[in-house]
Amino acid sequence: MIRLISFSSALLLAASAAIADPAAIYRDNCADCHGAGRLGGIGPALIPETLKRMRGPKIEAVIADGRPATQMPGFADTMDEAAITELAAWLKTPLDAVPDWGPAQIAETLTPDPGYVAADAPVFDADPMNITLVVETGDHHVSVLDGDTFEVLDRFETPFAVHGGPKFSPDGRFVFIMSRDGWVQKYDIWSLHQVGRVRAGLNSRNIAISRDGKHLAVANYLPMALTLLSTADLSVEKVMPVISKTGMHSRVSAVYQAPQRDSFILALKDAPEIWEVATDPDAEPVYEGFVHSREKDMVEAIPSSEGLFARRRIEIAEPLDDFFFTDDYRHLIGAARDGARGVVVNLNVGREIAELPLPGMPHLGSGISWELDGRRVMATPHLKEGKLSIIDTTDWTVLKTIDTQGPGFFLRSHEDSPYFWADVFFGPNRDLMHVIDKQSLEIVRTLRPEPGATVAHVEFTRDGRYALVSVWEDDGAVIVYDANTLEEVRRLPMRKPSGKYNVFNKITFSEGTSH
Ligand code: DHE
Percent of the chain with pLDDT over 90: 77
Can you tell me the mean pLDDT for 244-260? 95
- Give yes or no for a contact between 182 and 201, defined as CB atoms under 8 angstroms apart: yes
Residue 95, pLDDT > 50, answer yes
The alpha carbon of 419 and the centre of ligand 1 are apart by a number of angstroms equal to 23
Q: Which domains does the chain have, with CATH numbers?
A: 22-92 (1.10.760.10)
The alpha carbon of 74 and the centre of ligand 1 are apart by a number of angstroms equal to 28
Q: Going by CA atoms, what residue is nearest to atom 49 of ligand 1?
A: 165
Q: Going by CA atoms, what residue is nearest to atom 37 of ligand 1?
A: 163
Q: Tell me the C-alpha distance between 227 and 102, whole Å.
A: 9
Q: Which residues contact ligand 1 via a Cβ below 6 A?
A: 53, 55, 137, 163-165, 205-206, 254, 365, 409, 457, 498-499, 514
pLDDT of residue 55: 62
- pTM score of the predicted model: 0.89
Q: How far is CA 344 from CA 251, 317, 396, 436, in A?
A: 21, 12, 8, 26
Q: Going by CA atoms, what residue is nearest to atom 12 of ligand 1?
A: 164
pLDDT of residue 276: 94
Q: Going by CA atoms, what residue is nearest to atom 1 of ligand 1?
A: 164
DSSP per-residue string spanning 103-134: HHHHHHH-EE-TT----SS-SSSS-GGGEEEE
pLDDT of residue 307: 67
Q: Is the ipTM of this complex over 0.90?
A: yes
Residue 295, pLDDT > 70, answer no
Between 137 and 301, where is the model more confident?
137
Quickly count: other Cβ atoms within 10 Å of residue 180's Cβ.
Answer: 25
The alpha carbon of 380 and the centre of ligand 1 are apart by a number of angstroms equal to 14
Give residue-wise pLDDT tens across range 337-363. 999 999 999 999 999 999 999 999 999
Atom of ligand 1 nearest to the CA of 322: 11
Residue 134, pLDDT > 80, answer yes
Backbone phi and psi for residue 77, each to the nearest 5 degrees, phi listed first: -80, -20
Q: Going by CA atoms, what residue is nearest to atom 23 of ligand 1?
A: 53
The alpha carbon of 163 and the centre of ligand 1 are apart by a number of angstroms equal to 6
Q: How far is CA 503 from CA 132, 134, 167, 352, 459, in A?
A: 6, 11, 9, 34, 11
Residue 371, pLDDT > 50, answer yes
Between 291 and 140, where is the model more confident?
140
The percent helix, strand, coil of the chain (3-state, each to 5) is 15, 40, 45
